[in-house]
Each structure stands twice: as C-alpha cells, then as structure tokens.
Amino acid sequence: MESLTNDIINVRVDPKDKLEATNILKDLGLNMTTLINMTLKQVIKRNGIPFEVANPTPSKELLEAIEEGENILGSKVKTKKYHSVKELIGDLENDL
C-alpha cells in the first residue's frame, strides 16, 4: 500500500550552488523538490546513478594544445604579431 505522507530529506549545500541551481530550475519550470523526486525515480529505474560520474581526463590533443599555447605565451615559439584583424586576414589570404 502506498504511503499517504512524504518523507523529508535534509541536505546541506553551498548557498551559492543552491541559488544557481534554483535559478536554472526556475528557468526550466521546475523546482528543487521536483528535481530531487525525478532524480530518485531515475535512480530506481536505472538501478544506479542516472548520469556519468567521472573525473574528466583531458585528451592527448587537448594537453598538446594547452602546452602549445603555454609555449606561445612563454615566447618559446616564434609567432608573428598582428595589429589588426585586417592584417591577419591579408596574411591568411596570401598563404592560399
């Protein structure tokens, strides 16, 4: 038989996170209670967490791009500097 009352869950959260999430949910036409209930239903239906929980690992390409950017900023790589977008575009067109 289904319960006629609801249980209450108390959760401590960072006030800034709560405010930001509340504003996003409001824009979506939802509130925190609805989100929690939706999430719990999905945990039950999926028999697990309904979203990926992982520490994102940057790809090899991203790490190489970051290193290249750091080298450029640290002047380890010689780069041409432009004073305007027009000058850059002209140089790019000359390379074609």
The pLDDT tens digits of the residues spanning 20-69 come to 999 999 999 999 999 999 999 999 999 999 998 888 889 999 999 999 88
Q: Are residues 49 and 64 in the same domain?
A: no
Backbone torsions φ then ψ of 2, nearest 5 degrees: -75, 140
Kindly state the percentage of the chain with pLDDT values over 70. Answer: 94
* pLDDT value of position 96: 74
How many Å is the maximal CA-CA distance in the chain?
77
pLDDT at residue 16 tops 60: yes
Q: Are residues 36 and 2 in the same domain?
A: yes
Q: Find all residues with CB under 8 Å of 21, minimum gap 6, and list them.
A: 32, 35
d(CA 6, CA 91): 68
Going from the C-alpha of 34 to that of each of 31, 58, 79, the distances in angstroms are: 5, 34, 53
Domain coverage including residue 74: 60-95
Q: Are residues 40 and 77 in the same domain?
A: no
Q: Are residues 33 and 48 in the same domain?
A: yes
The number of folded domains in the chain is 2
Q: Are residues 23 and 48 in the same domain?
A: yes
Q: Are residues 71 and 39 in the same domain?
A: no
Quote the crossing angle between the two packed helices 32-46 and 15-27, to the nearest 10°. 90
Q: Are residues 65 and 49 in the same domain?
A: no
Query: Which of these, 41, 18, 50, 45, lies nearest to 31 by C-alpha position?
Result: 18
Q: Are residues 4 and 35 in the same domain?
A: yes
